[in-house]
Amino acid sequence: MPENGRTKRGIPEGLWIQCPRCKAPSFHTDLQKQLNVCNECQHHLKVPARDRINQLLDTDSFEEWYTELRPCDPLGFVDRVPYAERIVREQARTGMPDAAVTGKGFIRGRPVVFCVTDFSFMAGSMGSVVGEKLTRAVEEATRLSLPLIIVSGSGGGARMQEGILSLMQMPRTTIAVQNLQETRKPYIVVLTNPTTGGVTASYAMLGDVHIAEPGALIGFAGPRVIEQTIREKLPEGFQKAEYLRDHGMVDMVVHRRDLRATIARLCRVLLKAPAEATKPRFSLPAPA
């Protein structure tokens, strides 16, 4: 104890946040005001699902759906930590039942079905509950004839701890999106850092419009895996949002402060577009 009898007080944890790119520290309240964008280098940090809802939707307009769905451990999967135990830990740490939040809200007075996956819960990976919630939400958007907005922060792809039950969610969400697109209602996807794996191979790349945040990593396998596989050096910025935009895989790269206005404008324009202009980009074969 110091000579004056006072206990030395440290800096409370979480008071300052370090940018993972430029390492500049930001006071956490200042960072929140900047929508979790570094003031020094404009790096877009990860955003929890609830903050996404507050940033993009009208105040207090979000009605959450399917809150009763909870993940289980159908395979009794065990790696370093049993999957059942891992789920409990993640729920306690994040305060979320699983990685997806779905529901209905309003963007500048316009009703939309809104879904977001949160990287903080097992890297936003798509297990059976995430797939079920997304599929139900897409089906509800189809039934209600409303625009669909999905914000993807799923760097984990399909959740390996659920095996084939996780992989099944890829065709399920794909078919649900196909049915929605037949109603000619807009489907807008916001791709954040990172969006990879089975999510990219299913619903995340089937939108009418794909918006990416600056610097977001988007792809199926990561660049290190690809380099190790093909034994070649990849181009600078490969799989980054700007590279994908320049090569026709992403429609636009939008700063986080402009996302809300951009989505609202797209909904307005696409809802007025003629039917042939919003034709689905793909079709499923007819059953035999």
Mean pLDDT of the chain: 91
Tokens 């696409």 label which residue?
270
Q: In this model, does residue 135 exceed pLDDT 70?
A: yes
CA distance 117 to 171: 18
> Taking 80 as the threshold, does the pLDDT of residue 91 lie above it?
yes
Position 280 scores a pLDDT of: 46
pLDDT at 278 (0 to 100):
46
pLDDT number for residue 15: 84
For the cut 50, the answer to whether the pLDDT of residue 264 exceeds it is: yes
Mean pLDDT computed over 103-123: 97
More confident residue, 108 or 282: 108
Q: Is 175 exposed, middle or buried (0-12, 13-18, 19+ CB in 10 A)?
A: middle
Q: Is the pLDDT of residue 287 over 90?
A: no
Query: Are 66 and 102 contacting, i.e. CB atoms less than 8 angstroms apart?
Result: yes
Q: Region 177-181: what's the mean pLDDT?
A: 96
Region 65-78 average pLDDT: 96
**Strand order from edge to edge, sheet including 110-117:** 63-65, 100-107, 110-117, 148-152, 187-191, 209-212, 252-253
Looking at per-residue confidence, does 281 or 173 come out higher?
173
Whole-structure pTM value: 0.88
- The pLDDT assigned to 65 comes to 98
pLDDT of residue 6: 59
Flag whether pLDDT at 10 surpasses 90: no
> pLDDT tens digits, residue range 140-178?
999 999 999 999 989 878 999 999 999 999 999 999 999
CA distance 211 to 209: 6
What gap in Å lies between CA 122 and CA 118, rounded to an integer?
A: 9
- Residue range 195-244, pLDDT digits in tens: 999 999 999 999 999 999 999 999 998 888 899 999 999 999 999 999 99
Helical (H) or strand (E) element with 270: helix 259-272
Q: Round to whole Å and give the CA distance between 99 and 130.
A: 6
pLDDT tens digits, residue range 265-280? 999 999 986 654 444 4
| Residue 41 clears pLDDT 80, i.e. is over it | yes
Q: Would you place residue 282 in the very low, low, confident or very high pLDDT band (cuts 50, 70, 90)?
A: very low
Percentage of the chain modeled with pLDDT above 70:
90
pLDDT confidence of 5, banded at 50, 70, 90?
low
Write the DSSP symbol of residue 249: S
CB within 8 Å of 189: residues ≥ 6 apart: 149, 150, 151, 152, 203, 204, 205, 206, 207, 209, 210, 211
Angle formed at CA 156 by CA 15 and CA 73, multiple of 5 degrees: 105
SS3 content of the chain, % helix, strand, coil (to 5): 40, 20, 45
Beta pairing, strands 16-18 & 25-27: antiparallel
Please tell me the predicted confidence (pLDDT) of residue 108.
96
- Per-residue pLDDT, averaged over 77-95, amounts to 95
Q: Which residues lie across from 107 on neighbouring strands?
A: 110
Retrieve residue 181's tokens.
Answer: 């697109």
Q: Which of 91-100, 179-188, 228-237 has the lowest mean pLDDT?
A: 228-237
- The residues spanned by each domain of the chain are 14-45, 46-274
The CATH code of domain 46-274 reads 3.90.226.10
Q: What whole-number distance in Å separates Cα of residue 180 and Cα of residue 136?
A: 11
